[in-house]
Amino acid sequence: MDVTIIATYRCDAHCTMCHAWQHPTLPAEEIGVRTLERVPSGLDNVNITGGEPTLRRDLREIVDVLYPKARTLEISSNGLHTDRLESIVRRYPGIKIRFSLETAGPESDRIRGEHDGLEKKVTGLRRLKELGATDLGFAAVIQDASADGIVELYRFARAEGFELATSALHNGFQFHKGDNRPHDPARVARQIERLIEDMLRTFSVKDWFRAYLNLGLMAKTLGQSRLLPCTAASDFVFVDPWSDVYACNVRPDLLLGNLETGSWDDILAGGVADLVRARVRACGQNCWMVASARAAIRSPRLPSLPRGAPLRWVVANRLRVALGLRIPFERYVDYAAAARDSSGPVPVDSPDPAAEGMPRVSQTDRYASSGPYLNT
């Protein structure tokens, strides 16, 4: 299982696609180290994110608790405070670190509400690399303002020896806004096509499967259904700063329980979890974020290996690229779907959780300004 720990909603970046920075948590109310000790061992991936996790003064202690519990521990950061990661990298050089960056130029600062972000992030990753870090990279949200530069960013990252993770523009209740959608989805998707082709031309197996993940981002951008079913609450969960455990970070009605008041096993194995998983199976959101995509691609029996469908796609299209043939994207995505998905966000059918024997969302008031959360 993968677990995302939203350690804080404090953030000193002012991103256009996320208004969490306008609704920061108070340090005293954020999930503590003792509560995080309840997270079980034997996990696949644990991502410490936010907000901005480096604003937690106890981030080092959080890492000390979680690092032994996961095959991969990741810190997702805006990259503005590299100095706060140096002691962590010295102790855990294998930790995965991703800095948010939208382009290899000044447009990233406008999107992220930062100043000199590119220079700070590149300099910061280089510094962490000098200290021995082995899994460093950028993370980009592909959207109208940055799509034309996504291939350039990928090539820049590779030239620097860094990875590039990608996601599509989407909504989530923690963003406190519900209008994140591409204005020209077909143009954005065409740029993702170029990125996929670039990734398949490399000799990196990891990037070949990232190409498949980006195929899912094309589908998401175009308003098409997921390539693979979502397995939220079964293969991944989110823990918010108030210790509430959710199936995902998109639907606030998918609350599983609270880690301060309940054990991990009770939260994930009880009747509430069964009801949440039923809702997940009926969900029409068609999300394709890193957490949900990675879990769907991964083999349930051998987590280090992919499922058959992604593997077959990678083999077939890697061979096409090697032979100089085009990838038949029309077999996998529907550009016409973009025209059918132009009406804006639509509220989901969210009945009273208590009526179904589920707990009420304990932080509904905190997420009340998030707006509609369908069409993520």
Q: Measured between alpha carbons, how far is 46 from 66 in angstroms, rounded to an integer?
A: 8
Q: Which residues of 128-139 are buried (b: 16+ CB within 10 A; e: fewer)?
A: bbeeebebbbbb
- pLDDT of the residue at 286: 83
Q: What is the CATH number of the domain that holds 27?
A: 3.20.20
- pLDDT of the residue at 173: 81
Is residue 355 domain-resident?
no
In the β-sheet with 255-258, what is the strand arrangement from edge to edge? 163-168, 135-142, 96-100, 70-77, 43-49, 2-6, 236-239, 244-246, 255-258
- Domain of 316, in residue numbers: 2-230+287-340
Taking each helix axis as running N to C, give the angle between helix 308-322 and helix 205-221, from 0 to 180 degrees, rounded to the nearest 10: 100
Q: Which residues pair with 97 in a beta bridge?
A: 75, 136
The first and second tokens of residue 269, run together, are: 């194995």
Is residue 256 domain-resident?
no
List, run by run, the mean pLDDT of 10-residue segments along the chain (376 residues): 95 89 92 96 95 96 97 96 97 97 92 92 97 97 94 96 92 82 92 97 95 94 90 94 93 92 92 93 87 87 86 96 95 77 39 48 53 38
Is residue 198 domain-resident?
yes
Is residue 141 domain-resident?
yes
pTM of structure: 0.88
Cβ atoms of 239 and 357 within 8 Å: the answer is no
Is residue 102 domain-resident?
yes
- pLDDT of the residue at 180: 84
- pLDDT of the residue at 365: 57
DSSP state of 104: S
Is residue 373 domain-resident?
no
Amino acid letter for position 79: G
Is residue 240 domain-resident?
no
- pLDDT of the residue at 358: 53
Provide the residue count of the chain. 376
Is residue 24 domain-resident?
yes
The first and second tokens of residue 43, run together, are: 């996990």
Please state the domain count of the chain: 1
